[in-house]
Amino acid sequence: MREVLRARIVLAAAEGLSNGAIAGELAVTVNTVRKWRGRFALQGSDGLKDAYRSGRPKTYGPDVQVAIVAAATGAPPHPAATWSHRTIAAQIADTDFAAVSASQVGCILADLDLKPHRVRSWLTRRDTPDFRDRVADVCDLYRHPPEGVIVLSIDEKTAIAARSRRHPGR
């Protein structure tokens, strides 16, 4: 969302609008417009990305996030009807990853806007042994696209809710 706003600032500047007009149109301050116009002028499109900030390194890498998403998007273990952060953490602990706390599972799911406790039915996703490897390849493509390439994700069936199959054999 922030990148979209920054791009709109640059596009409005390319149309010849003043800083004040851009700020009024996009509901930001004039200083914000100055900042992103200046960074774009100096660094090009790379200037619109967030600058590196120091801080505490992440405790869990993307592989743990993939494992949490894989667990949260599958059916919960019997007899549970829904996932909880605690059951997802227990499921991850059974794999080859380090112990992840229930609160950390909650933070990761919140960052990804996943709410497995609100799902009414489950997709019939097959558990294949190379699932995590394939997901890691796709995630790596999004995180590090090839030079000069735009990566898009397209939903093939928009506005259709995914539900479990009534007749799995068909």
**Chain segment 133-167, per-residue pLDDT in tens:** 787 788 888 888 889 988 887 766 555 565 666 66
Task: Name the residue with higher pLDDT: 36 or 83.
Answer: 36
Q: Which residue has the higher pLDDT, 45 or 136?
A: 45
Residues 74 and 129 grouped into a single domain? yes
- Residue 14's pLDDT is 93
Number of residues written out for the chain: 170
Same domain, 137 and 70: yes
In a domain, 160, yes or no: no
Number of domains in the chain: 2
Range of lowest pLDDT (7-11, 59-63, 66-70, 148-152): 59-63
**pLDDT at residue number 97:** 64
Q: Environment class of residue 21 by beta-carbon count within 10 Å: exposed (0-12), middle (13-18) or buried (19+)?
A: middle
Q: Is residue 136 part of a domain?
A: yes
Q: What is the pLDDT of residue 10?
A: 94
For residues 79 and 108, state if they share a domain.
yes
Please report whether residue 109 resides in a domain: yes
Residue 169 has pLDDT above 60, yes or no: yes
CA separation for the pair 121, 166 (Å, rounded): 11
- The pLDDT assigned to 136 comes to 79
- Please give the angle made by the CA atoms of 126, 132 and 136, to the nearest 5 degrees: 135
Tokens of 58: 């992440």
Query: pTM to 2 decimals?
Result: 0.45
Mean pLDDT over the full length of the chain: 81
With CA atoms as reference, report the closest residue to 101 among 110, 89, 92: 89
pLDDT given for residue 111 in this prediction: 86
Residue 8 has pLDDT above 90, yes or no: yes
Residue 149 lies in a domain: no
**In this structure, is residue 154 part of a structural domain?**
no
Q: Are 72 and 136 found together in one domain?
A: yes
54 within some domain: no
Is there a contact between 97 and 62 (Cβ–Cβ < 8 Å)? no
Looking at the structure, do residues 69 and 40 belong to the same domain, yes or no?
A: no
pLDDT at residue 42, as a whole number = 93
pLDDT in tens, 65-94: 888 888 887 777 777 777 888 888 888 887
**Residues 6+ away with beta carbon under 8 Å from 87:** 76, 77, 80
118 and 73 housed in the same domain: yes
Which residues span the domain enclosing 73? 62-143
Between 155 and 30, name the one with better pLDDT. 30
Any domain includes 43:
yes
pLDDT average, residue stretch 25-46: 93
Whether 100 maps to a domain, the answer reads: yes
